[in-house]
Amino acid sequence: MLNRPRRNRNSPFIRDLVAETNLTPQDFVWPLFVIEGESRKEEISSLPGVYRRSIDQILECLPEAIDLGIRAIALFPAVDESKKDSMATESCNPDALNQRCVRAIRESYPELIVVTDVAMDPYSSDGHDGVVRDGKILNDESLEVLSQMALTQAQAGAQMVACSDMMDGRVQAIRETLDQNGFEDVLICSYCIKYASAFYGPFRDALDSAPKFGDKKTYQMDPRNSFEGLREIQLDEAEGADILMVKPGLPYLDVIKMTAEHSNLPVAAYHVSGELSMLKAAALNGWLDYDACLIESLTSLKRAGAKLIFTYAAVEASKLLRK
């Protein structure tokens, strides 16, 4: 036999030599949930092993992550119900939990890249990513709030803002506001192709941020479509995005690949809450080897074309990769 593909799989060293994909901690962005208070660390029931942490607890967990080689974290604040309103006013407060947390991290760990989320939902009494009027999610009215939100995050020290709201024109609006205020070096990671997905369930539990009425289908993309995403890619590139995200991850590997093939920008994938909770649930039942399935899942996102991978399991995975 001339051709024996198995020769290239013969030993661990050969397999390492021919491996096309090499997952490293430097690919990860570690999303963290922040809460008010001190010494608070609460497990999220639908995401075992993932916590909401007060700022001091976040500062405490970062050295290990940095030591493992993680370069970036993404912050998601849990906002008290009393601070939510229809205009998401709290999102633009320079002294809000999110902004305070960014400042504290930048002071203690100046090199770590802090990514902040730009969307109204955690602060909105309607639980939507944009301004709501008469049951409609208004696009252009939301851009003003999103731009101001991104600006206060940059002022607090965020080196990258990630707009997860899916309003039209938000990348350009944010870029202009940042530039006008001297933040031309702050990166914009656009949630470019974000689907209206049921896999966000545990995240909405974590932040108590589910929509109070309806769903997000008038702004997030329809899971039946992929080519529609080509238009989003073109627009986000033209509007000045630095990184393009596809979200969720595993159910949309085809879309990650399409994005990598159609854009020269780095592609990010978000291994979202529901994807991780499936693994956790199966593992708790003894039905899956969690460690192996986790690494396989994250490797698949990279193989499909993602360079950055947002994952709640960044620390766990980094430890496994070290072995």
Beta-sheet pairing, 136-138 with 131-133: antiparallel
Catalog residues that contact ligand PBG under the rule CB under 6 A: 117, 119, 121, 129, 164-165, 200, 203-204, 216, 272-273
247 is catalytic: yes
Beta carbon nearer to ligand PBG, 121 or 239: 121
Closest separation between CB of residue 148 and ligand PBG, Å?
A: 16
Catalytic residue check, 41: no
Burial (CB < 10 A; 0-12, 13-18, 19+), residue 93, is: middle
- Quote the least distance from Cβ 63 to ligand PBG, whole Å: 24
According to DSSP, residue 130 is labeled S
Q: Which residue is nearest to ligand PBG (CB)?
A: 203
Burial 132-165 (b: 16+ CB within 10 A, else e): beeeebebeebbebbbbbbbbbbbbbbbbbbbbb
Residue 201 or 262 having the CB closest to ligand PBG: 201
Written as six digits, the tokens of 225 are: 């479509």
**The one catalytic residue among 194, 216, 280, 302:** 194
- Between 53 and 286, CB nearer to ligand PBG: 53
The residue among 27 and 165 lying less far from ligand PBG, judged by its C-beta, is 165
Question: Which one is catalytic: 84, 216, 247, 280?
Answer: 247
Contact indicator for 92, 127 with CB cutoff of 8 Å = no
| Token pair listed for 214 | 């309806």
Ramachandran category for residue 48: left, alpha or beta (phi over 0 → left; psi -120 to 50 → alpha)? beta
**Nearest distance from residue 67's CB to ligand PBG, in Å?**
25
Least CB distance to ligand PBG at residue 161 (A): 13
**CB atoms closer than 10 angstroms to residue 166:** 25
Q: Residues with catalytic annotation?
A: 194, 247
